[in-house]
Amino acid sequence: RLMTDNPILRYKDNRALPSSFQGVGLFSNEFDWLSVQGGSFERAIPRTGTGAEKLTTTFGNRAYSGARISYLGATVKPGYGLEASVYASRFEDMWDQTYVGLTHRIGDKSDIALKTAFNYYHTSDSGDKNLGYIDNNAASLAFTATHLAHSLTLAWQQVFGNEYFDYVWESTGNYMANSLYSDYNGPNEKSWQLRYDLDFAAYGVPGLTASLWHAKGWDIDGTHYDGDRNGHNTGYNVRSLDGAKHNENGLMLAYVIQSGTLKNTVLRTIVYNHRASGGQIDGSYDEFRLVANVPINIF
């Protein structure tokens, strides 16, 4: 049972226990410029217990499952502020998914540091097509400028396909820029985000950070969905989505305890405000969370 962390299968840690996955994994970080991950997993262990579940999807018809998900990928850091990641995966009888990520950093935050991040996923049906036909592309581009303790991010994200951009349930296998409380991953959805981050270490309080963001998604359209053609299963219930839209505001304060018995414990306060229309999947809500992540050393 492993807590995997990569663009395809990433553990989720927003309940009493983090999720994990049952199978075999390879992790290699022998070189500063290269890291490699591979794995093959057949069960998910949910955040709410210790039993194992079949692998299903987050946004698709969860009546259908895949026997196994396997992936192989690498991240390369050739220098000059560049970083590139490529992953390929197969969720048996559900989908094949590839991921490409490119990041470039330049400058120094004592003056101005600039970060550009591009993320891209391509998902297509596989094997018995348990979720029907799938042909989905999702891409995001984010620019971040940092000066001393202050960071400002502007991001654009778009889905090209008549179904959700999807990932395995109990995972957060989504490195897209606008993966917030909502994923902004509806069929044909466009979205943007404006975000501000503050690191209080520059003001004598190491471990304390604040984040404030606004995001908006629109043009969610599933009316052209035909993934169930030729007698295949209806994998995604999206045909009623026609011009759906939504937006959210978020504020998070986080503190990492720096020393003592509770060192590395993370305390977070999160306030969400989300408004949706036209049947957008997340609905409208106001939410306040207090979260504590406490590491426990067994050995």
Judged against a pLDDT cut of 80, whether residue 9 lies above it is answered with yes
> What does the pLDDT read at residue 296?
83
Judged against a pLDDT cut of 90, whether residue 284 lies above it is answered with yes
State the average pLDDT over residues 226-237.
Answer: 96
> What does the pLDDT read at residue 297?
81
Class of domain 70-293: mainly beta
Domain parsing of the chain, residue ranges: 70-293
Residues 6 or more apart whose Cβ sits within 8 Å of residue 242: 221, 222, 223, 278
148-161: per-residue pLDDT in tens? 999 999 999 999 99
11-70: per-residue pLDDT in tens? 988 777 889 999 999 999 999 999 999 999 999 999 888 899 999 999 999 999 999 999
> What does the pLDDT read at residue 295?
85
